[in-house]
């Protein structure tokens, strides 16, 4: 064995480094490197699963890295790109694979001008405003998309759902994604449906627009709501009906009573546990009544002490 081979053998057998040249941790038992979104086999020089964002990039192989351009591009978490969205319509305009996980809201006319000049990438920080991490933005929009009514969706309904999540986040001193993923929101588990080829494009654009309005922190489309309920709210025997209606419910405006239910007075001294705050599409927004909260000595939106 010559000196070079011997040195290599001694180094390889006496030193086990968990982090290799890629700066990603390598599992010594499997020989795989974890990049945050998928595993890579350095022995076979292949990814062992497809890019989790591959549905968004049908023109690329789902097994490539950085669009097959690793000299110019980086991808620290295995899925990072900068995405542009039309600030007016919510339409997804383009992604730039620059290793930065960011969503940018931009006016279409401004975007088109930079695209025509061929200077979009170098000017991406000048042409709009950041919506934060694109992965978080898409998760929020996807949650809103899954929660919105399948047929009667509207910007007011979708933005109202986002407003409720924002109201909860402010009250709990948490983030929008934390509230969406709290376990109380059905749509979180189905948030990736917005990326499906079968997704309704109009509804998806509205969900993206609603997510922009939610992140922007402007108008509260729920008018102070901390809950929302759809069509099952009016269905006798459903969980939503049993919890939010049968315990005492007051419609603060006839316009909120979209299902023609009428008030439900409880036998308790507070009469109404919940009251409506707004309604849009096939969704009613609501909150606990002050009478109920006073009776239970709490100011928390969810009734906890």
Tens digit of each residue's pLDDT (9 = 90 or more) over 188-233: 999 999 999 999 999 999 999 999 999 988 899 999 999 999 999 9
The span from the CA of 80 to the CA of 37, in Å, is: 10
**Alpha helices for the chain (secondary structure H):** 3-14, 108-117, 134-147, 155-172, 176-180, 201-216, 239-240, 290-295
DSSP class of 52 = T
Helices (H) and strands (E) in the chain, counts: 8, 11
In tens, the pLDDT along 93-139 reads: 988 877 778 899 999 999 899 888 888 887 777 788 899 999 999 99
Q: What percentage of the chain carries pLDDT values higher than 70?
A: 77
In angstroms, the CA 78 to CA 99 distance is 9
Judged against a pLDDT cut of 50, whether residue 140 lies above it is answered with yes
Mean pLDDT estimate for the chain: 84
Is the pLDDT at 89 greater than 90? The verdict is: yes
Give the residue-averaged pLDDT of 298-303. 93
* Cβ contact 149:282 at 8 Å: yes
Considering only residues 35 and 60, tell me which one the structure prediction assigns the higher pLDDT: 35
Q: Does 2 score more than 80 pLDDT?
A: no
Q: Residue 24 corresponds to which tokens in the numbers above?
A: 């990603």
Residue 145, pLDDT > 70, answer yes
Which residue has better confidence, 95 or 276?
Answer: 276
Least Cα distance to 73 among 92, 50, 100 occurs for 100
What confidence category does residue 68 fall into, taking pLDDT thresholds of 50, 70 and 90? Answer: low
233 phi, psi to nearest 5 deg: -60, -35
pLDDT mean over 179-196: 92
- Please write the tens of the pLDDT for every residue from 251-274: 999 999 999 999 999 999 899 999
pTM of the model: 0.73
- Cβ neighbours for 231, distance < 8 A, ≥ 6 positions apart: 149, 259, 282
Backbone phi, then psi, for 25, in 5-degree steps?
Answer: -70, 135
3-state class of 25 per DSSP? Answer: strand
In this model, does residue 184 exceed pLDDT 90? no
Classify residue 248 by burial, with Cβ atoms within 10 Å: 0-12, 13-18, 19+: buried
Beta strands in the chain (DSSP E): 32-34, 39-41, 46-47, 82-86, 92-96, 102-106, 128-130, 227-229, 249-250, 274-280, 283-288
pLDDT of residue 67: 55
**What is the dihedral angle through the alpha carbons of 157, 161, 167, 173, rounded to the nearest 10 degrees?**
-160
Of the candidates 285, 274, 272, the one whose C-alpha atom is nearest the C-alpha of residue 228 is 285
Burial of 1 (0-12, 13-18, 19+ CB in 10 A): exposed
3-state secondary structure (DSSP) of residue 196: coil
Residue 8's pLDDT band (boundaries 50, 70, 90)? very low
Determine how many CB atoms are found less than 10 A away from the CB of residue 218: 12
Distance (Å, rounded) from C-alpha 301 to C-alpha 171? 8
């Amino acid at each position: 064995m010559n000196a070079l081979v011997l040195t290599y053998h001694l180094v390889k057998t006496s030193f086990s480094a968990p982090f290799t040249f890629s700066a990603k941790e390598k599992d010594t038992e499997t020989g795989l490197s974890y990049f945050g979104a998928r595993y890579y086999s350095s022995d076979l020089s292949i990814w062992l699963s497809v890019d989790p964002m591959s549905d968004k990039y049908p023109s690329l192989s789902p097994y490539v890295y950085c669009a097959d351009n690793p000299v110019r591009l980086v991808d620290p978490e295995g899925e990072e790109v900068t995405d542009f969205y039309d600030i007016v319509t919510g339409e997804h305009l383009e992604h730039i694979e620059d290793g930065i996980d960011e969503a940018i809201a931009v006016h279409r006319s401004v975007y088109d001008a930079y695209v025509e000049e061929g200077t979009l990438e170098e000017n991406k920080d000048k042409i709009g405003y950041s919506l934060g991490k694109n992965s978080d933005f898409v998760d929020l929009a996807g949650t809103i998309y899954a929660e919105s009514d399948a047929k009667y969706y509207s910007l007011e309904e979708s933005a109202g759902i986002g407003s409720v999540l924002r109201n909860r986040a402010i009250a709990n001193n948490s983030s929008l994604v934390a509230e969406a993923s709290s376990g109380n929101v059905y749509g979180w588990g189905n948030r990736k449906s917005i990326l499906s080829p079968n997704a309704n494009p109009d509804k998806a654009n509205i969900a993206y627009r609603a997510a922009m309005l939610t992140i922007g922190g402007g108008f509260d489309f729920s008018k102070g709501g901390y809950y929302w309920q759809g069509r099952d709210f009016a269905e006798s025997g459903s969980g939503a009906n049993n919890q939010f209606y049968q315990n005492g419910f007051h419609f603060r405006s006839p316009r909120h009573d979209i299902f023609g239910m009428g008030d439900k007075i409880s036998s308790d001294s507070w009469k109404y546990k919940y009251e409506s705050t707004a309604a849009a599409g096939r969704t009613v927004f609501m909150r606990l009544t002050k009478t109920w909260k006073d009776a239970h000595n709490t100011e928390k939106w969810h009734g906890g002490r």
